[in-house]
Amino acid sequence: MQLNKVGIGLIAFFGLIGAAFAVVPILAGVPWEVAGILASIGVIWVLVAAGLLWYARRQKQKAAHSDWIFQQGLRGTATVLHAGSNATVNEMPLMRLRLDLEVPGQGSREVKRREIMPVFAARRMEPGLTLPVYVNPQDPSDFILVW
């Protein structure tokens, strides 16, 4: 997952408006009861923005790690044994995949994987489909599935 323009807008909106709610009434000398209510709302909004920022940052770090595996990792294949979904995130299915992973020098093993995919990609995940994988040379359990 990656942050898009809407996400940047949401973070900016919650962060800036929340900060304004928290600070401006106090600076403007608004009565404490009202300022307290607005400040509480503002703090919640700032926390929402901080949470989104934290998630975006984590996704960026994951993406950087995946890029490293793509460049340095061992290339293998993953054959879909089973694919299913019973949840969606942002209208995208959270796919639960059972894969037969085959990597040169590491043999074959069965692994499970969860991936959020757009609908048009998810519907292609059928048993028998073979996809490329790149495996972390230092940690066989760490791999990226190319879909």
The encoded tokens of residue 46 equal: 């700032």
Of residues 91, 93, 92, 77, the one with CA closest to residue 129: 77
Q: Which of 95, 97, 101, 144 binds other proteins (CB under 8 A)?
A: 144
Answer for which of 65, 119, 127, 139 binds other proteins (CB under 8 A) is: 119
Bridge-partner residues for 76, per DSSP? 133
Give the nearer residue to other proteins in terms of CB position, either 35 or 95. Answer: 95
**What is the number of other CB atoms lying within 10 angstroms of the CB of residue 134?**
21
Binding string to other proteins for residues 65 to 94, with x set by CB under 8 A, is what?
-x---x-------------------xxx--
Q: Give the helix/strand (H/E) hosting 22.
A: helix 5-27
Interacting span for other proteins (CB under 8 A) from 21-29, 31-39, 103-111, 117-125: 117-125
Given CA atoms 36, 42, 44, 50 in this order, what sign does their dihedral have?
negative
Q: Which amino acid is at 139?
A: D
Q: Which residues bind other proteins (CB under 8 A)?
A: 1-4, 6-11, 52, 55-56, 59, 63, 66, 70, 90-92, 116-121, 123-124, 132, 134, 144, 146-147
